[in-house]
């Protein structure tokens, strides 16, 4: 291997890249789009509060607005963060139908006279609607309403400020970090870029350079196949560094993502492209035509694109698919990145790294052997 | 002096089809050797075997004393190759392409000077995909010269080019010869071979059917020179009777074979003496083109006959 040859070819690759607007878009702009898109979709619904639709029949005697106690009750419900109250103006008789038509699974009716009954200590009944098919939401709503009611009852029974509950509690935090979707999304999408960018372009290059005779042209120069492939790998390593920086920056700035920037990421950003540049070259070399090369490339790329923990954590998938994920090389790249960027689990990261590294060496040697730049 | 290229009994088979079928030739150092043949004759296959790009089935091949297939690496440092329909990285400029080759070959050639030599200096900074066909071919030529090669292989370098671009490439080929390089040129333009080549081999169906200098091939395979005048069949009969020479009449033209340049004078004297009406006389001799068409035609007929006989 001669560094001079690799350097000369690296200049050719980088110039080719910088002069290709489509390639630039996919490596510099597309990552931001991906982060924004997936971050926005999943961050918005990541709140676990149950939507509780409320009909408040306890209007002020003036007819404008609701009574202070009923409003206070609903605010207390909201403050639990278990439910998110939205008040609708619907007749109590039609409320059940209304919930069904709007796809809401939980509802609450505060009857007229709620405030006066409460202040007079007259029993008053709230009505809770739940859907047995969404038992979790129903349970949350019942628990929240019971809790708030108990507090109100206690307050009523004791008078203001003179009553101390017998059983109290304080809250403390557990040490484990709770990760948001965006935190997993960043290592996942870095893995996505490590996979797709070299795979798609190397498969294409392998077949089109052969068709255009560029490999034959190169075979007449002193550059060797392994030097040529190394220069491509180095280019995609450089590109991966840039893309990862962009993704982390976008994730942190747009969604407040929580990642640890550590040197432990670097081996994965090197070995990942090493693996997939070699694999792309291998796939492109075994194919006879550019069309079949693209097909082989897609067959390899697509399952990995979705099932290796790119957009969704592997632990969220059904058991069968999880087993399948473990045979996908990208899984180990993304898992390794998760270990170093989120969990600081070094020993597991090292295991992931070793698996990818050994795979890379095998695929690299196979690719150099099987991709011919002259004919028999 | 040892031959630059030495080929003996070269065979290349694809399955049962022999693309090259037992050819033998040698190329002297510093000469221009042209491989001439119709499309599909086996020119490119032979050239690629000589360049070390294709493996031969049988035979002996030595280029600069090296086996192109097993000793490709040292050979490639000493030869320059322009493949048919040269293509390169689309977004790269000619200057960058030469800098790339310069780094790979470890030479110190000046890119602009080299591009000037092939008349491409004005396009030094234009991207490859914006160049015309002729300009691309010139870049191929310049790249082939980056390593100061002893032999240049040019596979149909002017195919599809306009007459001006073609002449520019010819000028470069002449300068290569002047610099003492050996040139191996394949073409299906006979004019090109006749103008540039010291020796020509005509290849057809994988076999060499004629070899020598253009003049030798014409002398060996061409028809003798003829004198033609416009005149009547009566004139033809007169000449045949008085000169004993075969006179052919076709479209109001009478042709007589010239076996010796002195014959021309005798024929003209006889025509005048006949008193018959005649106008404009011309002498014609076969070009390489005529020989080529005849040889290839004869061979195809022969092939057809033998196939019919089966």
pLDDT in tens, A84-124: 999 998 888 889 889 888 888 899 999 999 998 988 888 88
B169: distance to nearest CA of chain A, Å?
A: 20
* Strongest mean pLDDT among A316-320, B66-70, B161-165: B66-70
Q: Under an 8 A CB cutoff, do B76 and A5 touch?
A: no
List pLDDT tens digits, range A153-194. 888 877 656 667 777 777 776 666 677 788 888 999 999 999
* Superfamily of domain A50-158 in the CATH hierarchy: abc type-2 transporter like domain (3.40.1710.10)
Q: Under an 8 A CB cutoff, do A222 and B76 touch?
A: yes
State the average pLDDT for chain B. Answer: 88
Smallest CA-to-CA distance from A212 within B129, B225, B284, B271 is with B129
Q: Please, what's the largest Cα pairwise distance for chain B? A: 77
Q: Across residues B105-121, what is the average pLDDT?
A: 93
Q: What is the dihedral of CA A262, A268, A270, A274, to 10 degrees?
A: 180
Residue at token pair 């924004």: A36
List pLDDT tens digits, range B51-62. 998 999 999 999
Interface contact A375, partner B, CB < 8 A: yes
Torsional class of A162: left (φ above 0), alpha (ψ -120 to 50), beta (otherwise): alpha
B222 vs B209: CA distance, rounded Å: 13
Q: Which residue does chain B place closest to A220, by CA atoms? A: B76
Residue in A8, A15, A214 closest to B88 by CB: A214
Name the residue ranges covered by the structural domains of chain B: 5-217, 224-284
Q: Does ipTM surpass 0.85 in this model?
A: no
User: What is the per-residue pLDDT for A175?
Assistant: 63
Q: Under an 8 A CB cutoff, do A222 and B104 touch?
A: yes
User: What is the per-residue pLDDT for A159?
Assistant: 67
Q: Across residues A46-74, what is the average pLDDT?
A: 86
A24 vs A43: CA distance, rounded Å: 28
Name the residue ranges covered by the structural domains of chain A: 3-44+180-370, 50-158
Q: Which residues of B touch A214 (CB under 8 A)?
A: 87-89
List pLDDT tens digits, range A241-286. 999 999 999 988 888 888 888 899 999 999 999 999 999 999 988 8
Q: Under an 8 A CB cutoff, do B83 and A213 touch?
A: yes
How does strand B151-155 pair with strand B79-82?
Answer: parallel
Kindly tell me if the per-residue pLDDT of B304 is higher than 60.
no
Domain B5-217 class, CATH top level? alpha beta
CATH number belonging to domain B224-284: 3.30.70.790
User: What is the per-residue pLDDT for B310?
Assistant: 46
Kindly tell me if the per-residue pLDDT of B307 is higher than 80.
no
Q: Which residue does chain A place closest to B106, by CA atoms? A: A4
Exposed, middle or buried, A168 (CB in 10 Å: 0-12/13-18/19+)?
Answer: exposed
Interface contact B304, partner A, CB < 8 A: no
């Amino acid at each position: 291997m001669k560094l001079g040859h690799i350097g000369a070819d690296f200049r050719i690759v980088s110039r080719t890249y910088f002069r290709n607007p489509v390639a630039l878009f996919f490596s510099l702009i597309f990552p931001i789009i991906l982060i924004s898109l997936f971050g926005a979709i999943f961050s918005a619904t990541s709140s676990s509060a149950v939507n509780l639709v409320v009909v408040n029949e306890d209007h002020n005697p003036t007819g404008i607005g609701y009574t202070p106690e009923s409003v206070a009750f609903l605010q207390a419900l909201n403050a639990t963060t278990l439910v998110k109250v939205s008040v609708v103006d619907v007749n109590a008789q039609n409320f059940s139908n209304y919930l069904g038509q709007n796809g809401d699974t939980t509802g609450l009716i505060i009857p007229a006279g709620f405030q006066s009954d409460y202040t007079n200590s007259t029993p008053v009944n709230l009505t809770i609607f739940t859907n047995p098919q969404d038992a979790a939401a129903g349970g949350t709503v019942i628990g929240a309403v019971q809790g708030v009611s108990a507090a109100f009852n206690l307050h009523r029974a004791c008078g203001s400020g003179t009553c101390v509950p017998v059983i109290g509690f304080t809250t403390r935090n557990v040490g484990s970090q709770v990760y948001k979707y965006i935190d997993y999304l960043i290592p996942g999408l870095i893995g996505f870029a490590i996979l797709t960018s070299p795979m798609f372009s190397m498969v294409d290059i392998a077949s089109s350079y052969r068709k255009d005779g560029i490999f034959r042209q190169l075979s007449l120069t002193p550059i060797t196949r392994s030097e040529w492939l190394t220069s491509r790998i180095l280019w995609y390593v450089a590109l991966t560094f840039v893309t990862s920086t962009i993704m982390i920056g976008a994730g942190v700035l747009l969604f407040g993502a929580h990642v640890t920037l550590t040197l432990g990421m670097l081996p994965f950003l090197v070995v990942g492209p090493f693996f997939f540049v070699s694999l792309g070259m291998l796939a492109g070399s075994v194919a006879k035509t550019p069309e079949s090369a693209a097909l082989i490339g897609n067959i390899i790329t697509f399952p990995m694109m979705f099932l290796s923990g790119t957009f969704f954590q592997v632990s969220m998938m059904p058991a069968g698919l999880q087993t399948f994920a473990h045979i996908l090389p990208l899984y180990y790249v993304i898992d390794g990145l998760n270990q170093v960027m989120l969990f600081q689990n070094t020993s597991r990261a090292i295991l992931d790294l070793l698996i990818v590294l050994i795979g890379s060496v095998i695929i690299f040697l196979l690719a150099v052997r099987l991709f011919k730049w002259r004919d028999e | 002096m040892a031959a630059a290229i030495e080929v003996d009994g070269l065979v290349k088979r694809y399955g049962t089809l022999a693309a090259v079928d037992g050819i033998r030739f040698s190329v002297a150092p510093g000469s221009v050797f042209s491989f001439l043949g119709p499309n599909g004759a086996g020119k490119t296959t032979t050239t690629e075997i000589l360049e070390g790009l294709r493996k031969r089935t049988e035979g002996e091949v030595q280029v600069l004393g090296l086996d192109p297939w097993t000793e490709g690496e040292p050979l490639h440092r000493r030869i320059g190759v322009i493949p048919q329909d040269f293509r390169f990285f689309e977004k790269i400029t000619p200057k960058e392409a030469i800098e790339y080759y310069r780094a790979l070959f470890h030479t110190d050639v000046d890119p602009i000077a080299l591009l000037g030599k092939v008349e491409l200096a004005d396009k030094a900074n234009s991207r490859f995909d914006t160049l015309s066909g002729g300009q691309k071919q010139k870049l191929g030529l310049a790249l082939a010269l980056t390593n100061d090669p002893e032999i240049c292989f040019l596979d149909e370098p002017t195919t599809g080019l306009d007459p001006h671009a073609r002449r520019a490439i010819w000028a470069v080929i002449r300068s290569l010869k002047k610099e003492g390089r050996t040139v191996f040129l394949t073409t299906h333009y006979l004019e090109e071979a006749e103008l540039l080549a010291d020796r020509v081999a005509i290849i057809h169906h994988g076999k060499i059917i004629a070899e020598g200098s253009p003049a030798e091939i014409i002398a060996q395979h061409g028809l003798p020179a003829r004198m033609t005048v416009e005149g009547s069949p009566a004139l033809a009969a007169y000449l045949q009777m008085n000169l004993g020479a075969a006179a052919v009449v076709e479209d109001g033209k009478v042709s007589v074979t010239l076996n010796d340049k002195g014959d021309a004078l005798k024929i003209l004297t006889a025509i005048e003496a006949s008193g018959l009406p005649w106008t404009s006389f011309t002498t014609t001799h076969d070009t390489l083109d005529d020989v080529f068409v005849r040889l290839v035609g004869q061979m195809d007929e022969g092939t057809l006959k033998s196939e019919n006989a089966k």
